[in-house]
Amino acid sequence: MSIVVTGATGQLGRHVVEQLLEKVPADQITAVVRDAEKASGFAARGVKIAVADYNQPETFDGVIAAGDKVLLISGNEFDKGRVGQHKVVLDAAKAAGAALLAYTSAPGTLTAALADDHKGTEAAILESGVTYSLLRNGWYNENYTEQLAVALEHGVTQAAGDGKVASAARADYAAAAVAVLTGEGHENSTYELSGDTAWGFAEYAAEVAKQSGKDVAYNAVPADVLTGILVGVGLPEGLAAILAGVDVAIEQGQLAGTPGDLSRLTGRPTTPIAESIAAALKG
């Protein structure tokens, strides 16, 4: 029996594998990657490495075995048909007789375009008949703290008005996935995962200012203006519009829910945004 993690060298995947290594023997973990070299550190610790690509279905032949638990981490190639990519892993899991397929989805409350591929993937999973666990991940603290240099220079610019975000750290979401993959009783489950506390961007700007000692303002702008700004720094227009659409959803309260599933799964409080800001400033 193996725990199979796709996207294992990605930002979330690395956290998942690191935390799995604390709970299960390394030879019970299969890290699915596109580039074996990026997984060399895991291989050196005894993790099995499988090279496979969502865009090449045949590369998943033999990666998943009967009884395996699989974590399908959603892809980030927005222009390549993510539902089709995800179905490659789903089909491989079903054919192999996997014991569980966990999928990192989006909050059920999110109506922004970003959620469309997740909803399509969830529908395919339910239709397939595989035993599943839907991990509806909310927003990551790092979505903002990784842009601190920009915030310190130009302020915090979002199209979210006074909306709030109940975010948590990537490591928190990884811990929830690990709890599902290594625990019992998660068959055919759906978890709405988010931080324990919702915060607004004015609060965020004030916290960055407090910790950095610099003046940091919150600049609330319309969605089309934010789209233009993101295109101006090099993002494709489609992706820029998707991200601005998330801000509109935030203004509408769609990412502010705090049902508590994340802290219940992990057995600890979620990481406050202030803590992630502090880590990023030290970084």
Distance (Å) of CA 135 to CA 6, 192, 267: 14, 7, 16
Distance (Å) of CA 36 to CA 14, 49, 69, 99, 171: 14, 7, 21, 26, 23
* The predicted structure's pLDDT at residue 77: 80
Q: Which two tokens stand for residue 14?
A: 């690395």
Amino acid at site 98: A
Sort strands 3-5 and 69-72 into parallel, antiparallel or unpaired.
parallel
* The predicted structure's pLDDT at residue 1: 82
Distance (Å) of CA 157 to CA 145, 148, 153: 13, 11, 11
* The predicted structure's pLDDT at residue 126: 98
Farthest CA pair distance, the chain? 56
* The predicted structure's pLDDT at residue 80: 76
- DSSP for 185-209? S-TTEEEEE--SS-EEHHHHHHHHH
Give dist(CA 88, CA 100) in Å, integer: 16
The pLDDT profile of the chain, 283 residues, written as one tens digit per residue, is: 899 999 999 999 999 999 999 999 999 999 999 999 999 999 999 999 999 999 999 999 999 999 999 999 999 887 778 999 999 999 999 999 999 999 999 999 999 988 999 999 999 999 999 999 999 999 999 999 999 999 999 999 999 999 999 999 999 999 999 999 999 999 999 999 999 999 999 999 999 999 999 999 999 999 999 999 999 999 999 989 999 999 999 999 999 999 999 999 999 999 999 999 999 999 8
Report pTM: 0.96
